[in-house]
Amino acid sequence: MFGDERTERIIGILSDSFFPILKAGLQFTIPLTLITFSLGLILAFFTAVARISGFKPLVLLTRFYVWIFRGTPLLVQLFIIFYGLPSVGITLDPFMAAVIVFTLNKGAYSSEIIRAAIQSINKGQWEAAFSIGMTKSQAMKRIVLPQAIRVSLPPLGNSFISLVKDTSLAATITVTELFQKGQQIAAVTYEPLWLYIEVAFIYLIFSTVLSYLQDKLEIRYGRGVAK
Amino acid sequence: MITIDNLYKRFDKLEVLKGVSLSIDKGKTAVIIGPSGSGKTTLLRCLNLLEMPDKGTITLGDKTLQITENSRLKQGEIVSFRKQTGMVFQSYNLFPHLTAIENVMEGQVTVLKRSKDEARKKALSLLEKVGLQDRADMYPFQLSGGQQQRVGIARAMAMDPEVLLFDEPTSALDPELVGEVLKVMKDLANEGMTMVVVTHEMKFASEAADQVIFMDDGVVVEKGTPDEVFNATKNPRTMQFLNKVAER
């Protein structure tokens, strides 16, 4: 397909670029994913609990929040926060802006997963917990959540892996994460095909490791379920 | 031990309890019978406030609740009243993510703040009492319905309740498993546990009850010893119900 010289050049570029791109991934993509996923989960949990609390103002507030962040593109949200807010005097560091947007976005989606998982737990579990004298928060923490976590792990795993890939959008607001790094190298080497395949491959490695973690978690929370 | 005075409860337009009054002595077993929809399960659930009555008075142990249409109990009041009771559910409601022994330990550790060792010891002796010490480390899905229900009884007993409430404890069981659960209940009754049992098991009622309460359409129609209710009733509604049950 190519001359030997061309092949050698591509192999050279790929091996030279592999570690810089991987490093950008470890430095930005992975931390961005882990930080926003953790913060997003906390936000999602409180949003879900507020949503099922039945307390009108909280219900309306959380519905509004989920409506906004699910109903608008992630890319547009990034642009509003990073390029838009400076015009009203709020300037954010790119990484910070990415953390805020991804957290709010993930929080909105995951809150629906967590809400569904909590509501899927049979009412009898709450009653049994109450019958041995538990308060609502004890019943939530000790009885309902451990079961809800098991139900929510597969969809949350999905959402986690899509987040790994979504963080590539942070390139558009100048975060030098994995994809941005690949773009930079592609721009100077004129080998976009091979570089972007390399970028895809590194994302694949990350996703694979994370799926493996998901499997481990599913086993851990799967206790007490008929196989 | 338990006194209920003029208790009312409605769900939307449906009035389920229409002024129920009764009393149960300490150490006695009361069996509530009646057709479905008569309000017997609702009455039982009012006793541990899983359902909040609309009005009426409930005395349990040394606590009295006077409920009016305007009263709103705080969670703390509900919990401290409820802690005097233990409940056994029709569908067992064991915690599926915990083993049998963990089910019996959970409330002791979380609610009563017993140490894990202490809770485990108590749980083991209760599992032994219901004949399941060799099943301690199994998850609910690995147990038969009858075994699950016996774990349910041990779980309720672990909290040292003043009163045990049974909500149709054998109705979800295969016929051949009913006996093992009823036996455990009879043992408890003989040991002087105060029990309130909603059931369709007339044989259990006649053998184990100190008092039989017949409910229909939200009121107590008749109450008395098993002999009085089953063999000597003059009440036409009671007779009609007993005849229907006997036909089965």
Helices (H), A121-191: 123-131, 136-138, 145-166, 178-189
CA dihedral B84, B89, B92, B93 (to 10 degrees): -70
Taking residues B117-132, report their average pLDDT. 96
Per residue in B58-112, pLDDT tens? 999 889 999 998 888 899 999 999 999 999 999 999 999 999 999 999 999 999 9
Q: How far apart are CA B155 and CA A58, in angstroms?
A: 36
Separation CA B214–CA B205 (nearest Å)? 11
CB contact under 8 A, A124 and B111: no
A131 Cβ under 8 Å from any chain B Cβ: yes
* B232 and B214 Cβ atoms separated by less than 8 Å: no
Among candidate residues B64, B49, B66, the one with its CA nearest the CA of residue B6 = B66
Rounded Cα gap, residues B125 and B155, in angstroms = 12
Using CA atoms, how far residue B48 sits from A38, A173, B236, in Å, is 39, 58, 32
Radius of gyration of chain A (CA): 22
Which residues, 6+ apart, have CB-to-CB distance to A17 below 8 Å? A182, A185, A189, A195, A198
Among B95, B96, B159, the residue with its CB nearest the CB of A133 is: B159
B159 to chain A: which residues are within 8 Å by CB?
132-133
Say yes or no to pLDDT of B123 above 60.
Answer: yes
Beta-carbon separation of B111 and A226 below 8 A:
no
Residue pair B155/B98 in contact by the 8 Å Cβ criterion: no
Write out pLDDT tens, residues B163-191: 999 999 999 999 999 999 999 999 999 99
- With an 8 Å Cβ cutoff, are B89 and A225 in contact? no
**Which of B50, B95, B139 minimises the CB distance to A125?**
B95
Nearest to B214 by CA among B222, B203, B226: B222
What's the burial of B44, exposed, middle or buried (CB within 10 Å: 0-12/13-18/19+)? buried
For the segment B200-227, what is each residue's pLDDT rounded down to a tens digit? 999 999 999 999 999 999 999 999 999 9
The pLDDT score that the predictor gives to residue B72 is 87
Separation of alpha carbons B63 and B49, rounded Å = 13
Instruction: Determine whether A133 is exposed, middle or buried from the number of CB atoms within 10 Å of its CB (0-12, 13-18, 19+).
Output: buried
Residue B46's CB: how many other CB atoms inside 10 A? 25
Distances (CA, A) of B68 to B8, B55, B180: 10, 4, 41
Provide the shortest C-alpha distance from residue B206 to chain A (in Å): 28
8 A C-beta contact, residue B118 and residue B99: no
What does pTM read for this prediction?
0.87
Packing angle, helices A178-189 and A4-24, rounded to 10: 150
| Close Cβ partners of A72 (under 8 Å, ≥ 6 residues apart) | none
CATH superfamily of the domain spanning A31-174: MetI-like (1.10.3720.10)
CB B169 within 8 A of CB B1: no
Interface predicted TM-score of the whole assembly (ipTM), two decimals: 0.94
* Two structure tokens written together for B240: 């009609």
Residues of B whose CB is below 8 A from A142:
106, 110
Per-residue pLDDT of chain A (227 residues; tens, 9 = 90+): 567 888 899 999 999 999 999 999 999 999 999 999 999 999 999 999 999 988 999 999 999 999 999 999 999 999 999 999 999 999 999 999 999 999 999 999 999 999 999 999 999 999 999 999 999 999 999 999 999 999 999 999 989 999 999 999 999 998 988 999 999 999 999 989 999 999 999 999 999 998 898 888 888 888 878 76
Contact call for A132 and B156, based on CB within 8 A: yes
Give the separation between CA A132 and CA B155, rounded to whole angstroms: 8
CB A145 within 8 Å of CB B118: no
Separation between Cα atoms, residue A150 and residue A153, nearest integer Å: 5
How far apart (Å, rounded) are the C-alpha atoms in residues A59 and A65? 10
Residue A35, amino acid: I
Q: Which chain A residues contact residue B140 at CB under 8 A?
A: 224
Yes or no: say if A223 and B139 are a contact pair by the CB < 8 Å rule. yes
A130-167 pLDDT, tens digit per residue, is 999 999 999 999 999 999 999 999 999 989 999 999 99
Residue range B133-159, pLDDT digits in tens: 999 999 999 999 999 999 999 999 999
For residue B247, give the 3-state DSSP assignment: helix
Contact assessment for residue A78 and residue A97, using Cβ atoms and an 8 Å cutoff: yes
Residue among B123, B90, B131 at smallest CA distance from B107:
B123
**pLDDT at res. B247:** 79
SS3 assignment, position B63: strand
Instruction: Please list, in sequence order, all residues whose beta carbon lies within 8 angstroms of the beta carbon of residue B190, skipping any fewer than 6 positions away.
Output: none
Task: State residue A1's pLDDT score.
Answer: 57
Residues in chain A within 8 Å Cβ distance of B87: 127-128, 131
The distance of Cα B55 from the centroid of its chain, to the nearest Å, equals 21
